[in-house]
Chain A
Amino acid sequence: MTEHDRNAAAYWSANLRLIIGSLIIWALVSYGFGILLRPMLSGITVGGTDIGFWFAQQGSILTFIVLIFFYAWRMNKLDKEFGLSEE
């Protein structure tokens, strides 16, 4: 395995770790808080209803936006750190 290959492999596994971490949060806010865990969180109230309802109608969308920008920022930085960016 050449130096370049090792570098590329490290970059790819860093990307996979980032994706898995992000998708865990992605699933937690929508399928978790928004749907499956809603009954368990019903004690926490937000504006006349429970936090599960808020996640289903607003919270998950806001989290998705943060996730994508965080991923783009981290990956664009990793591209440069590993010398794999386009410029």
Chain B
Amino acid sequence: MSQFAINLIFVLGSFALYIGIAFWARAGSTKEFYVAGGGVHPVMNGMATAADWMSAASFISMAGLIAAGGYANSTYLMGWTGGYVLLAMLLAPYLRKFGKFTVPEFIGDRFYSKNARFVAVACLIIASVTYVIGQMTGAGVAFSRFLEVENNTGLMIAGIVVFFYAVLGGMKGITYTQVAQYVVLIIAYTIPAVFISLQLTGNFLPPLGLFSNHVESGIPLLQKLDMVVRDLGFVDYTADVSNKLNMVLFTLSLMIGTAGLPHVIIRFFTVPKVSDARWSAGWALVFIALLYLTAPAVASMARLNLLTTIYPAGPTADAIQYSERPDWIKNWEQTGLIKFEDKNGDGRIQLYNDSAAFKATADERGWNGNELTVNNDILVLANPEIANLPGWVVGLIAAGGLAAALSTAAGLLLAISSAISHDLIKGSINPNISEKGELLAARISMAVAIVVATWLGMNPPGFAAQVVALAFGIAAASIFPALMMGIFSKRVNNKGAIAGMLAGLLSTVIYIFLFLGWFFIPGTAMLANTPDNWLFGISPLSFGAVGAMINFIVAFAVSSATEAPPVRIQELVESVRYPKGAGSATGH
């Protein structure tokens, strides 16, 4: 059987499963559509949250980022998991107790202001739409490599599959497909990692393999990797970073942003009780950690594998002939994600860091510049081929990459459509809309959101990498502080909250636009995006944490200069703090 046929069977098989679940889990009420009826088991919700959260970025890109950056990119590992501690202790149980359907609804009620609700809806939609673009482009990469279909055809297929279970089942359909998608993606991620860890370290658990001895050389794997990359002019894999302030703020931005992303928060509205929301956050992190503890092992092992493929006799000996390159390099060259240019005309592939510091060594060896560029995103997808694993593992990876992208896309689309149908239509435009009418409105908003997301995936605005920073920046600087102050302070009032959200949002967005261009339009950046220009060495990606602090300060300052919230609001704050008398989520 050809590799194409195997991939097709795996991908179509997983799609058939998702559509089957869609028919089984149709939503009959707005409560089922928005919060899956409120009866999801905490472990089940933990699994669905893990799939909801782990996107194409986690599955496809993260290991590649760590492989390229080594220790410096540990920020992603800590940042994208540490947010769950904040969620579990500062947000999820209280918002579950509040018992409504959407995040803007809490902000609107707590700050007794329709304007506050609108600001929250705007932040939610900007953050979620930018995020969904990344998922659709990730799905496109997986489709074009594994199913050899045109990118656009692949995206249409993905759109139709999501349409089925998200429009029919809403949160209910999404929850159960996410559980299935989690199983698919975690198996796909760990199987190749186990084989590679066995090959390199003899340890079948990748997280332990990372700190074990390299079988061939007998020295620790990380020491071996440090030596190899050093010989090729790269910075040591385990090297410390000098700009610690930026590393701390970047990690903090990712953590706060994670906790403030509405599509993650609403998952905790689906469990029966406040105590379940607490357990569920723990289970979510357990399921996430299965991938996040495997990723750094995959990163270091794939980097070592790649370099030993290019330099079979060691980094100080000759590189391989281009004509003798393995098949997986040929496969990925066709996608343009691996590029080779024989700069010194010796027919061999020289892969090294052509920096000024390494120039003398490179000249001595007759090298004329780095000849192989490898896109970070292919490491995980190419892993099974690099390790010579059987064809079905490659098929599994294809299905896993798509599961990661589609599960997150569906969660984001639900957050967007419920903000439109529940916060805008029911909450403002037509408050007297019937239950049936609202359900229909929710389905139509979902359908429109899917069409828009698919279209944006086909015509990515050319800034797909930067927009993720924007999504995290907005969630960190606007949504998270507003929610936290709404729960932990009785004094912050409507004026303070709105001023705080706007100050946090604008300062973050403006700082990002200064370096990355106004609305990301190329050529409109006012300052070059280099560390010398950054304020106190803080990169635009790290600014969300600063924006959050600005939000807190402005909100407290404005609130203390204006009147205290009315008594009924202070009572509302009291009521979200104590689990007693929760009841399940309602729309009223």
Contacts and interface: CB of A to CB of B under 8 A. Distances in A.
21 contacts: A23-B85, A23-B89, A31-B248, A35-B248, A35-B251, A38-B240, A47-B210, A49-B220, A49-B222, A53-B71, A53-B222, A57-B296, A58-B210, A61-B289, A64-B81, A71-B89, A72-B275, A83-B580, A84-B578, A86-B581, A86-B582
B348 to A, nearest CB: 30
Interface in A5-43: 8, 11-12, 15, 18-19, 22-23, 26, 30-31, 34-36, 38-39
A71 B86 CA distance: 11
Given A34-B74, A35-B247, A86-B274, A58 B88 contact: no
B275 A61 contact: no
B82 interface: yes
B78 A60 contact: yes
B85 A49 contact: no
User: Can you list the 5 inter-chain pairs with the closest CB atoms, starting with the nearest?
Assistant: A48-B220, A47-B211, A56-B74, A72-B278, A68-B282
B385 to A, nearest CB: 25
A16 B78 CA distance: 24
Interface in B279-338: 279, 281-282, 285-286, 289, 292-293, 296
B112 to A, nearest CB: 22
B244 A48 contact: no
B585 to A, nearest CB: 13
Query: Chain B contact residues: over half helix, strand or loop, or mixed?
Result: helix
A49 B574 CA distance: 49
Contacts of A18: 89
Given A31-B248, A34-B78, 7 more contacts: A47-B221, A48-B222, A48-B224, A56-B78, A61-B292, A75-B275, A76-B275
Contacts of B247: 35
B84 interface: yes
Query: Chain A contact residues: over half helix, strand or loop, or mixed?
Result: helix
Nearest to B90: A19
A19 B484 CA distance: 13
B260 interface: no
A56 B71 contact: yes
B233 interface: no
Contact of A56 (B77, B212, B282, B285): B77
Contacts of B89: 18-19, 22-23, 68, 71
A79 B329 CA distance: 58
Nearest to B89: A19
Interface of A: 8, 11-12, 15, 18-19, 22-23, 26, 30-31, 34-36, 38-39, 46-50, 52-54, 56-58, 60-62, 64-65, 67-69, 71-72, 75-76, 79, 83-86
A73 to B, nearest CB: 9
Given A23-B85, A38-B240, A84-B578, A57 B278 contact: no
Contacts of A36: 244, 248
B202 interface: no
Contact of B285 (A15, A22, A58, A68): A68
B77 A62 contact: no
Nearest to A77: B275
Interface in B221-269: 221-224, 238, 240, 244, 247-248, 251-252
B275 A79 contact: yes
Given A35-B247, A48-B211, A60 B581 contact: no
A61 B77 contact: yes
Contact of A35 (B244, B577, B579): B244
A39 B238 CA distance: 12
Nearest to A60: B78
A57 B579 contact: no
B117 interface: no
A65 B292 CA distance: 12
B222 A47 contact: yes
A83 to B, nearest CB: 8
B207 interface: yes
Interface string B57-83: 000000000100001001001100110
Contacts of A85: 275, 579-580
A57 B252 CA distance: 16
B85 A26 contact: yes
Contact of B78 (A19, A30, A76): A30
Nearest to A66: B282
Nearest to A7: B578
Contacts of A71: 88-89, 278
Contacts of B473: none
A62 B81 CA distance: 10
A81 B293 CA distance: 36
Given A64-B81, A86-B273, A48 B221 contact: yes
B93 interface: yes
B579 A79 contact: yes
B219 interface: yes
A65 B90 contact: no
B85 A68 contact: yes
Contacts of A57: 66, 71, 74, 77, 210, 296
